[in-house]
A and B are shown apart, each in its own frame.
Chain A
Amino acid sequence: MIHSLFLINHSGDIFLEKHWKSVISRSVCDYFFEAKEKAAEPENVAPVLQTPHHYLITIYRGKLFFLSVVQTEAPPLFVIEFLHRVADIFQDYFGECSESVIKDNVVTVYELLEEMLDNGFPLATESNVLKEMIRPPTILRSVVNTLTGGSNVGDTLPTGQLSNIPWRRAGVKYTNNEAYFDVIEEIDAIVDKSGTTVCAEIQGVIEACVRLTGMPDLTLSFMNPRLLDDVSFHPCVRFKRWESERALSFIPPDGNFTLMNYHVSSQNLVALPVYVKQSISFFDSGPCGRLDITVGPKQTMGKTVEALMVTIHMPKAVLSANLTATQGSYTYDLATKVLVWDIGKLNPQKLPNLKGSLSLQAGAPKPEDNPSLNIDLKIQQMAISGSLLFIRTF
């Protein structure tokens, strides 16, 4: 299926290549560079490209292109999903997935890629299994290894690989047994100029950090499972139990993992926690404009809104911004024309406000449309969908 993999950095250098079948010349990437040239933004490069003899499937993550070469028919999502999994594993092993980190750990990366695919078909993609085969680099171990001549590579088959629960290692032991669950909910909403919500939906993730001894079997149930419109699970969750009882029953992987994703659809009315009053105008008369933005709390259920941030993609013609913020700080990136206003905590008594003038490029036509505002925020200890959960262990 997957023939070769090339890692390409932002500026278009191929800094790593790996072939699972016969060697394919890196000149095949020229087709990709051509497409990249055409698309102004790296995000706009089409993920699937056709060349005379090969098909190129690319993902763009962390300023890196993962380009895989496929020679015959293969489900494109299969390849894309795998490439993302590779990036996840790198992130897991090295803390980040960037060019310098990969270059520093090139041997480990190569060993990983070798184990993850055999003849182009995924072999081991569970990080738990991989970590038993190839231990992640730590300083302590590299010191020990240089002294003793030991290695980072295990010589036995990871137990998980053979069992039906490949995600869990055997023989896990902890003195403190603990399990933490983070419920992270994101509201995704589009609000139009007048403040009406065009569409809003909640996307939830349950991230777990489980450190339990042995083979724990956990059950997790929801207060109001009917709210959940659609769900997807880590493979450890038993589908049957979910279908019959709406409870999550699973033998968890060891360590951090994403237990489930869920979706609360827009049909259930979603209350947005903040509102924004904005007025951005450009004058016909001279090359300047005005900007006035106020953010206020709407329905926060008494919780504080944190990490509030407003991002505005300004029209090309805007040269600079001269603004004053009552709270937080703002930056305007001249190259990308992005205005970022980092507010921080929202104080309901004194609403943050950003006001000032914009200067436009002289002679350029006045921007016809106002830019769109992206607002990011974080509220601790609140689940918007109102679903709570309980847990039981065996």
Chain B
Amino acid sequence: MDVGFCLRSEAAGAMRTALMSAENLQLTLKAEPSQEERALTHTKRGPEETHKAGNEDLKEMLESNKESLKLEAMKRVVGLIAKGKNASELFPAVVKNVASKNIELKKLVYVYLVRYAEEQQDLALLSISTFQRALKEPNQFIRASALRVLSSIRVPIIVPIMMLAIKEAAADMSPYVRKTSAHAIQKLYSLDPDQKEQLIEVIEKLLKDKSTLVAGSVVVAFEEVCPDRIDLIHKNYRKLCNLLVDVEEWGQVVIISMLTRYARTQFTSPWKEGASFEENNEKAFYASDSEEKSERTEAEAYVMDPDHRLLLRNTKPLLQSRNTAVVMSVAQLYWHLAPRHEVNLVTKSLVRLLRSHREVQYIVLQNIATMSIQRKGMFEPYMKSFYVRSTDATHIKTLKLEILTNLANEANISTILREFQTYVKSQDKAFAAATIQAIGRCATNISEVTDTCLNGLVLLLSNRDETVVAESVVVIKKLLQTQPTQHSEIIKHMAKLFDNITVSMARASILWLMGEYCDRVPKIAPDVLRKMAKSFTAEEDIVKLQTVNLAAKLYLTNSKQTKLLTQYILNLGKYDQSYDIRDRTRFIRQLIVPNEKSGALNKYARRILLAPKPAPVLESAFKDRDRYQLGTLSHSLNSKASGYQELSDWPAVAPDQSVRNVEVVEPVQEWAPSVGKTKKLKSDDKFYSDNEEEKAEEESESSEGSSSSSSSSSGESSSESEEQSSEESDKTSSDSGKSSSGSEETSSGSDSQQKKKKKTKKAPQKKSKTAAASSDSDENGNGPVVKDSSSSDESSSGSEDDSDSDAAAAPTTQQQKKSDRKPGPKVKSEVEVSLLDLVDFSPAPTNAPKGPVVSPSLLSDLEGLSLSNTSSTMQVTAPSFGPVKTYELLHHMTGKGLSAKYHFPRQPCLHQPGMVAVQVTLSNGSDRSLEEIHVGDRSPASLNIHCFNTIERLEPEASVTVSMGIDFSDSTQAANFQLCTKEDGFSVSIQPAVGELLMPSSLSEQDFSREQGKLLGMNETSATVAMATANASSQAVKQRVLSVANVGEVPSGQDVAHR
């Protein structure tokens, strides 16, 4: 494959221009309107009368026989709808076309129906049967769109029909249809809230869905219909966490915000003292018994729930999302849930969002403003990112200012003030005024700079712009109140300015200052009052009020000079138009002017009017916003939006964490070797390949924190089937399970180990009973029975593939049934508890070994998740990874330096569902580079291979891993093909082991037995697994089977068959 690559090179530029000109061409040609567009513009411009006539005309077109006429008419009708014009009278004519074959026409009719059905309910019913028919179509797209429209028609009569359709669609095998049904749930709920109970059932079912496609939509439905039913989430919590990265971006936003709420109700606060140690504690806690004592002493310290940690870990990569809403929702999740020291992780990403669209900036800045009040340190290093740009919109500027003010401290205040100085000169006067207020806030918050700020503000008083001066006056007034002692100079200066200031708020502020500190400016104050008396009638109300106040205060302190003035002003006030002022005047007069009636209050007038007044606290407008969850509409508006879900406080004691455990209950631990059969089977230990853990890799990471490192390492080493090591892993893992469950004493843990050792070979009956009892309803849904179907079956459908796949699977089962009953371990229930817990805590070791096999695990990230299911009952499960065995394809001696190895990554094939994925590692052992490595001729000729792309060049000592797909047609016949380099071609063959052709899938137990009945024992295969010793532990056995075949494991009621 040729890959041209250049760095903004001429070639790219040229191509761009070519594309551009092509587009221009298109546009210019487009300038001549097509027929339909002309028709559209015609109806658009026509006055009402022609509009009516136009509708007649449309009706005729719709009733004609010609498809193209109908289509054009519908396009014009949609044009009318888009313009908001009424086209409802066409309803009967339009509805007739609902069954049209033309897909575009049909879709336009749907648009129309959804718009007008509510108004014309009776006529809309005519269309229902068409949808009901469409719901049964084999084409999933048509099924989905029929459901979409059916549920969008807001006609109460059809509620039962909708309910039925939703229920059916929720069990549809196409995830796309299931997604649509999740959307339909909300629609039905808004149409008829009485259906709530039934809908919750459907939601519950859909929540269990493993498709990433469905997850987002069903959570939306959950949030809308029953946000308080937190219990529905328990079982799906871990699955949702693990799926999160692969859910589409819009779903991620909703799931994250829902999980935030969930986590706040389920986990204890990580914000307590000593929280910074929790990671260590946690490790130590699970590590081993020996540390038990130290544990006890630290028992009081906070330990983060592993599920809590899982959520934080799995959301972190989403900070790199291109979708700003996702980044914001992760940020709020960290803010509300993460330990204090981890919140800083989100800072960078939030700052990055500031480079996005203006509207995005606005919301992000609002949230940062709230955050920065509580946590200055978080954003301080990024202070410069909040510097205002001259091109910012005003509301962005003010928000940035807000944040800068919040960030100000002793260290950076000088930088910030310098920046503020520039802002004050801004041409945007509203912004300049906001800056002055910000300076005022800095001055009150940081005492070191109060004087500097005050001086700066006084300088601003000589500014030519009135708003700036006025704002400064107001701010200075507030500042002076905080430290009134030494500033009589400033007050005098302001008195001088008084004549020039016209903004009423500023004038009022100066008057208030005069009155309050009249003892400091004894000469000036009466003079100001005199001036005010002259202009009293022309002033604004607020200035008048302050004038009255000033007069009253001066009367009390300096009655000799001001008595007459005061009385004059009070008289003016008495006849003022505003009753506020008349009222105040009357009050003041009674209070200060002694007469025979006033009496009591008069004595206290001085104390009332001249009482020391508390200084105002200048604080951020975002102070109280933290009561709302960040990133919500309510936070943005600072008022509760309808439908806002309150974020609860942390519970003091965490609710039972075991509710989230999704046990795949597996009654049998072990298989004894069968007699007389070559194939030894053994129990799959369920803990290591839990169905639930679809992403082994994710899981392994998540479990690192919770499970001890020893258990995971032993899991890997157990592939060597040394009895000891597996035994060991058993021990440690059961320990860890136990200690983490917290329900068992560690001492009993060691007991159980010993018991277990003794009893590993006993029959499983007893155990199965208890296990079955403790299993929960979830089990049915998840179908913990695992079976393998040959991978090719996936593409075919119906019962055929079922039986086919079972053909491969059945013989082994039958073998087991016959033979594997002899020993039955009677395992104590204690042990079992710990083992069950283990399911949750140590799913790690099934993971594919890392190293050369990085790519399969990566592929699994993308591919392992939501494959379409072949039938409703059968689900393909993710492969459980055993150790990957590598086979030699081409030795470097025969291959003239080129050597090739292959292995089966046990991934569903990327290219075609019927193929088996093969990973080929090509390496160059020669001393010159090999060129053009590709796949040549193949035999049999019909062999279907999806080749890897030609490798242009392989340097000496280099190796490259490629993946290819081979369709073995369900046979073990070897695939022969040529591996060619530029000069040579080498024949190679890949012989698949039967196990590699299988595909693990799960189905319910009943289904399995049914399928089993159909089997004829045709595809019987057997393999030998050499067991080191007879009493090899379950892990070792399992590991062996995994190494041979790509299978999942099947826990079932009576006997466990590993198929």
Contacts and interface: CB of A to CB of B under 8 A. Distances in A.
Nearest to B628: A73
A95 B389 CA distance: 30
A313 B428 CA distance: 12
Given A181-B7, A229-B348, A242-B320, A81 B464 contact: no
A106 B427 CA distance: 42
Interface in A117-160: 118-119, 121-123, 125, 137-139, 142, 146, 149, 151-157
A152 B317 CA distance: 38
B336 interface: no
A394 B948 contact: yes
Nearest to B395: A46
Nearest to A389: B7
B404 interface: no
Contact of B82 (A81, A109, A214): A109
Interface string A354-394: 00000000000100110110100000110100001101011
B101 to A, nearest CB: 10
A44 B324 contact: no
B425 to A, nearest CB: 4
Contacts, number: 317
A75 B328 CA distance: 9
Contact of B3 (A106, A153, A177): A177
A320 interface: no
A106 B85 CA distance: 14
A52 to B, nearest CB: 11
A157 B352 contact: no
Contacts of A17: 82-84
Contacts of B12: 180-182, 209
B632 A75 contact: yes
A6 B140 CA distance: 31
A22 B116 CA distance: 10
Contacts of B385: 199, 201, 266
Contacts of A114: 107, 110-111
B643 A72 contact: yes
Given A146-B68, A155-B141, A182-B12, A73 B23 contact: no
Contact of B633 (A55, A137, A179, A209): A55
Contact of A50 (B108, B639, B863): B639
A179 B949 CA distance: 15
A352 interface: no
Given A43-B393, A230-B348, A239-B320, A249 B858 contact: yes
B642 to A, nearest CB: 5
Interface stretch (B183-191, B527-535, B830-838, B978-986): B183-191
A263 B325 CA distance: 19
Nearest to A138: B26
Chain B facing A: main interface SS: helix
A18 to B, nearest CB: 7
Contacts of B465: 368
A178 B4 CA distance: 5
A216 B1 contact: yes
Nearest to A157: B141
B394 A139 contact: no
Contacts of A213: 1
Contacts of B54: none
- Please tell me the size bucket of the interface on B: 35 or more
Interface string A26-56: 1000000000000101011011101000010
B910 A391 contact: no
Contact of A77 (B84, B328, B395): B328
B541 interface: no
Nearest to B44: A103
Contacts of A179: 3-5
Kindly state the interface size class of chain A when it binds its partner. 35 or more
B351 A153 contact: no
Contact of A391 (B3, B35, B245): B3
Interface in B344-362: 348-349, 351-352, 355, 357-360, 362
A191 to B, nearest CB: 12
A147 to B, nearest CB: 9
Given A16-B83, A107-B78, A121 B217 contact: yes
A71 B108 contact: no
A43 B391 CA distance: 10
Contacts of A182: 7-8, 12
B962 A394 contact: yes
B878 to A, nearest CB: 13
A81 B391 contact: no
B633 A183 contact: no
Nearest to B75: A107
A156 B141 contact: yes
B1007 interface: no
Nearest to B33: A104
Contact of A125 (B250, B355, B393, B962): B250
Given A164-B862, A203-B355, A110 B111 contact: yes
B631 A180 contact: no
Contact of A14 (B84, B103, B180): B84
B3 A393 contact: yes
B660 interface: no
A73 B78 contact: no
A299 interface: no
Contact of A368 (B81, B425, B643): B425
Given A77-B360, A372-B390, A243 B317 contact: yes
Contacts of B707: none
Given A239-B245, A251-B862, A394-B962, A75 B633 contact: yes
Given A178-B4, A238-B862, A77 B83 contact: no
**From B35, B323, B865, residue with most partner A Cβ within 10 Å:** B323
Contacts of B697: 240
B866 interface: yes
Nearest to B175: A162
A135 B361 CA distance: 33
A231 interface: yes
A76 B641 CA distance: 12
Given A48-B633, A241-B858, A77 B865 contact: no
A275 interface: no
B464 to A, nearest CB: 6
B139 interface: yes
A287 interface: no
Interface string B168-193: 00000011100010011011001000
Nearest to A370: B425
Given A55-B633, A73-B632, A313 B390 contact: yes
A116 to B, nearest CB: 10
A178 B18 CA distance: 15
Given A60-B358, A151-B104, A179-B5, A48 B637 contact: yes
A1 B636 CA distance: 16
Given A146-B34, A181-B5, 7 more contacts: A48-B633, A77-B631, A107-B75, A151-B105, A201-B385, A238-B858, A263-B352
20 contacts: A16-B82, A17-B83, A47-B362, A50-B639, A73-B633, A73-B644, A78-B253, A107-B78, A111-B107, A118-B183, A149-B67, A149-B102, A153-B103, A164-B865, A192-B422, A230-B351, A374-B391, A381-B9, A393-B949, A394-B960
Nearest 5 A/B pairs, CB to CB: A72-B643, A151-B104, A157-B141, A239-B317, A199-B384
